[in-house]
Chain A
Amino acid sequence: MDELLQDFTAETRETLEAISGELVAWEADPTDRARLDAIFRFVHTVKGSCGFLDLPRLGRLAHAAEDVLAAARDGLRQPDTALVSAVLAIVDRIGELNEAIVAGAPLDDSTDDLLIAALAEDAAPAAPISGTGPSRTVIRSVRLGVDLLDRMMIGMSDMVLARNELARRLRDSAPVPRIEGALERLSASVADMRDTVTRTRMQRVETLFAAVPRMVRDSAATLGKNVALTIEGADVELDREMIELLRDPLVHIIRNAVDHGIESPAERRAAGKAEAGRLVLSARQSGNRILIEIADDGRGIDTDRVAAKAVAAGLHTESEVARMDEAQRARLIFHAGLSSRDTVTDLSGRGVGMDVVRANIEQFGGRVELRNQRGRGLTLTLQVPLTLSIIPTIVVGVGDQRFAVPRQAIEEIVSLTGGAVRIDTLGGRQVATVRGRRLPMVGLGAVMGIADEATRALVIVSTRDGDYALGIDAVLDSEELVVKPAAPAVMASGIYAGQTLPDSGLPLLLLDCSGIATVAGLRFGLAADAVAEAGAAEAPGIPALWFDDLDGRRRAIALAVVDRVESVAAEAIRWSGGRLHLALDERVIPLVAMGDVPVAGEVTLLRLTDGHVELFYAVAEAQEIVRLPAAMAPARERTGIAGVVVIEGEQVELLDPHALFAGEVRAPASRPLCHLRCDGTGWMDTFLRPVLEAAGYRCTTAPGGDESVAVTLAMEELAADADVERLVRLSRRPLGPAGSGSGDTAATVYRYDRAALIAAVAERAGRAVA
């Protein structure tokens, strides 16, 4: 029988025993309000649990009784003898069913309807139902107070210490084999006992998660949604008390996710998502907290709507809301009465109480974090304290001190003696290179201010912000520890997650690896985030070719488009028909480039194909094949660039093959060359060149070579000998209406009239192409 059900049956039996006296008293005096309340509470609890445990038959009985009792409490019905016996019959049946569940025996349900019918106001007194009553099975479970468990734990620890001291004393005296044998037996049973006692408090978070799949399934089915649930880390252990405290908030959040977060299949299709919504429930330990994460890929929180509601409810003013960032707006849902949804549903009501959820979690020292991605999902993280959680740790030594490091934070431990690790000093900081991976290094001794003998091993620590190497002297032990918070003055140093008393009898501090990184001044920048992002987008991305483009940028293109990479002589590339072409094997193939194509030597080309049409794309150098991350920042109106992705911490522009094949990308040779006739002041180079280059021209101050100059720009007084067809004269003074006469083909433009200048250059460049 599953643990939840076992708890339920035990509790029901216990309450039934407790209220049996009330039942009798109520029967004697049906108007007794206190008795009525007690019985109402009982059926109400049973009803509540039945919904959760999926016991419809019990639930129906309890529900019917609850309705009648509620009516009696509200004075709508007179609690007469008929009502009392009808309710008592139901309570009896609940008891019978409960025993049947425990025994796993079926119970005839033909009379349930009769019992319920008997509750009706006009019902004839029900015939007493005779039954032999099922035999009572013994439940192998008892309920204990947490206080008692606490005392057991303390007693146990004292026992361990006493055993240790006894062992020490015995070691000091002459060995007596028989006593030693006895001590060994004692040790073994103490260790066993300790495990058992510890386990009484701890429970795998599994018990908390066990009811979730069913709940998600049922909720989703009610709403006509399709939800794929993934549960991770169910083996993390948590304090029993904590599990109980987490139950309601978790149910709440999951219902919200299914009801409000995940869209209907039709909406999801329209939004380009898979029809089945994803809901990921995970638990992990991080430092001195347990993190329970509920992530969905639904619509997220509509922050605008929440903000508007906050204003409407008078919680914030318009201007306050306007100043908030997205995260702050999303956090508004923790205010009472602010739901992001307007519709009320059976399932979760009107965004019921994220405020209540938060209050519940914070009550026992936890925290609720929220990461909202509008249209893409919502992730809620419940951080709950680790108090009395058992953590597997590695005990490390620095100098003459020892510390425990949570094993969960440790990626690996590498020894410095093997030569596989290299430590360098970069800009005053130590950097460790482990198998080609470069990590910032922190000497634990240095952070602690302990003179360490010599760093002999590195603990590769992974924190939420990034990974680093922690230099230690020695790995001493591996222990499972019951960690408790240390005194505030100790915790405030920021590098400890708690304290514990291991078998050695000497207190041991548990390190907070993130805290150490902070104290050591490590800053994990974009690169670390990018790696995390890439890791988060678990589906392997599409392969792409990463190359250096002609304009010096790093770009990538989907590998599927690339036929092959070729090298051709620059002479084969010709400017013809208004664009670049490559003459190859008697064929002429269009060529696209985003920079200046070299005019001599070899040119590296990507041969692109869409299956029918071929296209060349000139690059500086092809680099390597990479996997594209799922996340891409769309490019802002840059033709030919689909967006920017982060590959290995570097921003890379992703080419848009569609635009390339559609001929939207202008070849660079169509960027006409402007000759700037300098007057020696440098004005043209400094002022004019950037303007022209921004407008898509290339500039030179010394024309020559193969390229013809499309436009010449010169100051008025130096323009005399130029080809008027291609000349733009610049005036130092604003021109009157007469001055810009259209009759003059060699236009004169005031040099700071940007619009006129660009227009004049464009006109002449157009002539040159034609």
Chain B
Amino acid sequence: MNRKLFLLAYVADRWVAIDAGDVDSVVDIGGIVAVPRAPGAVRGLAALRSRVVTVIDTRVTLGLSPTATPRRAVIAQIDGHHYAFLVDALEDIAPFERHPLSAGLALDSGWDAAAAGIVERDGEPLLVIDLKVLVPAADRAAA
């Protein structure tokens, strides 16, 4: 058994698992400054201690309506920049075994790109989300 630590987060009305190794910290987010002309998934910028983080509205990246009131966020560092991914709620970190996605499983467009496997919690399958994929690419922003 090859178990790894995953952070369970409630995003877009369902529980997902995030590789704990990708996560810097979990914070309460507030005071988001909007960034005009940035892609829709960029909710804005927020200050995290002395650092500026780019807030990603996870729901928008997954093709859903924007998060109503941002509260909690998962902080991760990707390519030298800090990002805050908005989540609705968080549970503890727990070890799980990652399984590959079932063959032939078709997911909604937004989920399809972000899904990186499946873990099972008490028999209930949860998608593993790859945070890197949730960051809007620079070239997409230009469009």
List of B residues within 8 angstroms of A156 by Cβ: 50
Q: A488-B81, A490-B42 are in contact. Are A519 and B31 (CB under 8 A)?
A: no
B83 touches A487 (CB 8 A): yes
- 1/0 contact string of B110-143 vs chain A (CB within 8 Å): 0000000000000000000000000111111110
Q: Tell me the chain A residues, 476-507 only, with Cβ under 8 Å from chain B.
A: 484, 486-496, 499-501, 505-507
Please pick, from B45, B47, B137, the residue contacting A488 in the complex, using a CB distance under 8 A.
B137
Q: Could you tell me the distance between the alpha carbons of A500 and B37 in the complex, rounded to whole angstroms?
A: 18
Please pick, from B36, B47, B81, B83, the residue contacting A506 in the complex, using a CB distance under 8 A.
B47
B52 touches A491 (CB 8 A): no
CB distance from B61 to the nearest CB of A (A): 11
Q: Could you tell me the distance between the alpha carbons of A208 and B86 in the complex, rounded to whole angstroms?
A: 45
List of A residues within 8 angstroms of B50 by Cβ: 154, 156-158, 160-161, 501
List of B residues within 8 angstroms of A506 by Cβ: 31, 33, 47
User: Residue B3 at the A interface, CB < 8 A?
Assistant: no
Instruction: Using CB atoms, name the residue of chain B closest to A161.
Output: B50
Please pick, from A449, A486, A487, A501, the residue contacting B37 in the complex, using a CB distance under 8 A.
A449
B37 touches A507 (CB 8 A): no
List of B residues within 8 angstroms of A499 by Cβ: 45, 52
List of B residues within 8 angstroms of A488 by Cβ: 79, 81, 137-138, 141
B52 touches A507 (CB 8 A): yes
User: Residue B39 at the A interface, CB < 8 A?
Assistant: yes
- 1/0 contact string of A680-722 vs chain B (CB within 8 Å): 0000000000000000000000000000000000000000000
List of B residues within 8 angstroms of A401 by Cβ: 33-34, 36
Q: Could you tell me the distance between the alpha carbons of A154 and B82 in the complex, rounded to whole angstroms?
A: 14
B31 touches A505 (CB 8 A): yes
List of A residues within 8 angstroms of B35 by Cβ: 490, 493, 496, 509
CB distance from A113 to the nearest CB of B (A): 56
A158 touches B49 (CB 8 A): yes
A489 touches B136 (CB 8 A): yes
- 1/0 contact string of A519-548 vs chain B (CB within 8 Å): 100000000000000000000000000000
CB distance from B110 to the nearest CB of A (A): 16
CB distance from A449 to the nearest CB of B (A): 5
Q: Tell me the chain A residues, 159-173 only, with Cβ under 8 Å from chain B.
A: 160-161
A492 touches B36 (CB 8 A): no
B141 touches A492 (CB 8 A): yes
A491 touches B45 (CB 8 A): no
Q: Could you tell me the distance between the alpha carbons of A450 and B33 in the complex, rounded to whole angstroms?
A: 13
Q: Could you tell me the distance between the alpha carbons of A490 and B42 in the complex, rounded to whole angstroms?
A: 8
Q: Tell me the chain A residues, 374-423 only, with Cβ under 8 Å from chain B.
A: 401
B138 touches A489 (CB 8 A): yes
CB distance from A443 to the nearest CB of B (A): 12
CB distance from B120 to the nearest CB of A (A): 33
User: Residue A588 at the B interface, CB < 8 A?
Assistant: no
User: Residue A123 at the B interface, CB < 8 A?
Assistant: no
CB distance from B57 to the nearest CB of A (A): 12
Q: Could you tell me the distance between the alpha carbons of A741 and B38 in the complex, rounded to whole angstroms?
A: 83
Instruction: Using CB atoms, name the residue of chain A closest to B142.
Output: A492
Q: Could you tell me the distance between the alpha carbons of A358 and B32 in the complex, rounded to whole angstroms?
A: 40
Q: A161-B47, A499-B45, A509-B45 are in contact. Are A490 and B54 (CB under 8 A)?
A: yes
List of A residues within 8 angstroms of B39 by Cβ: 489
CB distance from A385 to the nearest CB of B (A): 13
User: Residue B93 at the A interface, CB < 8 A?
Assistant: no
Please pick, from A157, A489, A494, the residue contacting B137 in the complex, using a CB distance under 8 A.
A489
- 1/0 contact string of B44-86 vs chain A (CB within 8 Å): 0111011110100000000000000000000000010101000
A450 touches B36 (CB 8 A): yes
User: Residue A431 at the B interface, CB < 8 A?
Assistant: no
List of B residues within 8 angstroms of A490 by Cβ: 35, 38, 42, 45, 54, 141
B33 touches A507 (CB 8 A): yes
User: Residue A448 at the B interface, CB < 8 A?
Assistant: yes
CB distance from A510 to the nearest CB of B (A): 11
Q: Could you tell me the distance between the alpha carbons of A519 and B141 in the complex, rounded to whole angstroms?
A: 13
Q: Tell me the chain A residues, 121-158 only, with Cβ under 8 Å from chain B.
A: 154, 156-158
Q: Could you tell me the distance between the alpha carbons of A450 and B36 in the complex, rounded to whole angstroms?
A: 8
List of B residues within 8 angstroms of A280 by Cβ: none
List of A residues within 8 angstroms of B139 by Cβ: 492
Q: Could you tell me the distance between the alpha carbons of A428 and B41 in the complex, rounded to whole angstroms?
A: 32
Q: A449-B36, A488-B138, A489-B42 are in contact. Are A161 and B52 (CB under 8 A)?
A: no
Q: Could you tell me the distance between the alpha carbons of A723 and B51 in the complex, rounded to whole angstroms?
A: 96
- 1/0 contact string of A594-616 vs chain B (CB within 8 Å): 00000000000000000000000
A495 touches B33 (CB 8 A): no
Q: Could you tell me the distance between the alpha carbons of A158 and B51 in the complex, rounded to whole angstroms?
A: 9
CB distance from B52 to the nearest CB of A (A): 4
Q: Could you tell me the distance between the alpha carbons of A568 and B84 in the complex, rounded to whole angstroms?
A: 82
CB distance from B138 to the nearest CB of A (A): 4
List of A residues within 8 angstroms of B52 by Cβ: 484, 486, 499-501, 507
Q: Could you tell me the distance between the alpha carbons of A161 and B50 in the complex, rounded to whole angstroms?
A: 7
Q: Could you tell me the distance between the alpha carbons of A161 and B51 in the complex, rounded to whole angstroms?
A: 11
B54 touches A489 (CB 8 A): yes
Q: Could you tell me the distance between the alpha carbons of A450 and B51 in the complex, rounded to whole angstroms?
A: 26
Q: Tell me the chain A residues, 420-453 only, with Cβ under 8 Å from chain B.
A: 447-450
List of A residues within 8 angstroms of B142 by Cβ: 492-494
Q: Could you tell me the distance between the alpha carbons of A492 and B81 in the complex, rounded to whole angstroms?
A: 14
User: Residue A508 at the B interface, CB < 8 A?
Assistant: yes
Q: Could you tell me the distance between the alpha carbons of A492 and B138 in the complex, rounded to whole angstroms?
A: 5
List of B residues within 8 angstroms of A484 by Cβ: 52
List of A residues within 8 angstroms of B136 by Cβ: 489
Q: Could you tell me the distance between the alpha carbons of A494 and B143 in the complex, rounded to whole angstroms?
A: 11
A491 touches B138 (CB 8 A): yes
B36 touches A489 (CB 8 A): no
Greatest chain A CB density within 10 A among B33, B37, B41 is at: B37
Q: Could you tell me the distance between the alpha carbons of A508 and B34 in the complex, rounded to whole angstroms?
A: 10
- 1/0 contact string of A444-473 vs chain B (CB within 8 Å): 000111100000000000000000000000
List of B residues within 8 angstroms of A495 by Cβ: 36-37
Greatest chain A CB density within 10 A among B31, B39, B52, B137 is at: B52
Q: Could you tell me the distance between the alpha carbons of A401 and B31 in the complex, rounded to whole angstroms?
A: 12
CB distance from A6 to the nearest CB of B (A): 31
CB distance from B33 to the nearest CB of A (A): 5
List of A residues within 8 angstroms of B47 by Cβ: 161, 501, 505-507
Please pick, from A161, A450, A507, the residue contacting B45 in the complex, using a CB distance under 8 A.
A507
Q: Could you tell me the distance between the alpha carbons of A234 and B108 in the complex, rounded to whole angstroms?
A: 57
List of B residues within 8 angstroms of A509 by Cβ: 33, 35, 45
Q: Could you tell me the distance between the alpha carbons of A447 and B36 in the complex, rounded to whole angstroms?
A: 9
CB distance from B76 to the nearest CB of A (A): 12
Q: Could you tell me the distance between the alpha carbons of A493 and B81 in the complex, rounded to whole angstroms?
A: 17
Instruction: Using CB atoms, name the residue of chain A closest to B46.
Output: A507
List of A residues within 8 angstroms of B54 by Cβ: 486-487, 489-490
List of B residues within 8 angstroms of A494 by Cβ: 37, 142
List of B residues within 8 angstroms of A161 by Cβ: 47, 49-50
Q: Could you tell me the distance between the alpha carbons of A505 and B136 in the complex, rounded to whole angstroms?
A: 25
**8 closest pairs, A vs B, by CB?**
A157-B50, A448-B36, A507-B45, A492-B141, A488-B138, A492-B138, A487-B54, A493-B37
Name 8 A/B residue pairs within 8 A (Cβ), A-sorted: A157-B49, A157-B50, A448-B36, A489-B136, A489-B138, A492-B138, A500-B52, A501-B52
- A: residues with CB less than 8 A from B are 154, 156-158, 160-161, 401, 447-450, 484, 486-496, 499-501, 505-509, 519
- B: residues with CB less than 8 A from A are 31, 33-39, 41-42, 45-47, 49-52, 54, 79, 81, 83, 135-142
Q: A488-B137, A490-B42, A494-B37 are in contact. List 16 more A-B contacts (CB 8 A).
A: A154-B50, A154-B51, A156-B50, A160-B50, A161-B49, A448-B36, A489-B38, A489-B42, A490-B38, A492-B142, A493-B35, A493-B37, A500-B52, A507-B33, A507-B47, A508-B33
